[in-house]
Amino acid sequence: MTQASALTDLAALARNRARADATALFLQEAARDELQDRVEMVNKPFQDAAIVTGFPQVWGQTGDHIVADADTLAIKQGAHDLVMHSLGLHWANDPVGQLIQCRRALRPDGLLLAASLGGQSLHELRTCLAEAEIAVTGGLSPRVAPMAELRDLGALLQRTGLALPVADSVPFTVQYRDMWHLMRDLRNMGEGNALNTRLRTLTRRAIFDRAADVYAANYPSDTGGIVATFEIIVLTGWAPDASQPQPLRPGSASARLADALGADETSLPD
């Protein structure tokens, strides 16, 4: 993929993350906690875990193998029984490729857990900025990274060849004083605009002022200020292994579903 056709300007993303405030990484911490909780729910010990992250400081001294969140992952094939990809897929230029690299790093019956920001994240900010820019300039420029919906990420997971794939969503709402507070928080957590097609010139103040007014009018919080939605989508899949449950051949069932459910079965008319 050439830089011109890439979604993300990786140099800009690296600068944004380098300037991040360690006290503002609550999204990264929420993703870490969600992934760790799910590992603990699995009735299986893991000995060789790898963590793909752009913020290794969030994970501390875990003893696990930390892998830089890059287009090409520095991860060996078949070296791990657990791989966790923590909140970087929404910036990946090739998200399918990222998942496939994680899949190849797993041993048979190894577990992949990937957390990504989903399509409902920052939908309020995206809407308000678009409305304001169209009203002020008559045009529209990319300001918030496009994020995949749950169904789309689930489809990507199925393309990796992982067994028992599952995708689910964890939405939550955060309150801010105003849109300026939200945008400052996004910069502090390294989530500023790193799109390759972003404007390289300064944005007119009138656009932000109008967007802030639209935001306050349409998305107020109960306690004053505004609300912002974030959605973490978690993808789960296992490296195929003969020990895993296998689907039965259609028509091979030895008992009726109606009997198992204790329900009456009514035949359809011919």
- For residue range 168-180, list pLDDT tens digits in order: 999 999 999 999 9
Residue type for position 20 = A
Residue 262 lies in a domain: no
Q: Residue 243's Cα: distance from chain center in Å?
A: 30
Residue 253 lies in a domain: no
Work out how many domains the chain is built from and give that number. 1
- For residue range 208-224, list pLDDT tens digits in order: 999 999 999 999 999 89
- Which residue, among 236, 216, 238, 237, has the nearest Cα to 226 in the 3D structure? 216
Point out which residues pair with 175 in neighbouring strands.
227
User: Using an 8 Å Cβ cutoff, are 48 and 79 in contact?
Assistant: yes
Q: How far apart are CA 5 and CA 159, in angstroms?
A: 22
pTM of structure = 0.84
- For residue range 178-200, list pLDDT tens digits in order: 999 999 999 999 999 999 888 88
Residue 217 lies in a domain: yes
Point out which residues pair with 237 in neighbouring strands.
112
Residue 258 lies in a domain: no
Residue 16 lies in a domain: yes
Residue 259 lies in a domain: no
> What are 194's two structure tokens?
């790193």
Residue 64 lies in a domain: yes
User: Using an 8 Å Cβ cutoff, are 28 and 56 in contact?
Assistant: no
- Can you point out the beta strands (E) in the chain? 49-53, 65-68, 80-86, 106-117, 163-176, 226-238
Strands 65-68 and 163-176: unpaired
| DSSP-assigned states of every residue in 20-49 | --GGG-HHHHHHHHHHHHHHHHSSS--SSE
Q: How far apart are CA 107 and CA 189, in angstroms?
A: 33
Residue 71: give the domain boundaries.
Answer: 3-241
Phi, psi of 133 (to 5 degrees): -65, -40
Q: Indicate the pLDDT class of residue 139, thresholds 50, 70 and 90.
A: confident
**pLDDT recorded at residue 248:** 60
CATH number at residue 17: 3.40.50.150
In this prediction, residues 116-129 reach a mean pLDDT of: 94
| CA dihedral angle for residue 196, residue 198, residue 199, residue 200, rounded to 10 degrees | -40
Residue 248 lies in a domain: no
**pLDDT recorded at residue 259:** 75
- Given a cut of 80, whether residue 1 has pLDDT beyond it is no
Which residues does 22 contact at the CB level (< 8 Å), separation at least 6? 57
Residues in the chain: 270
Q: Indicate the pLDDT class of residue 56, thresholds 50, 70 and 90.
A: very high
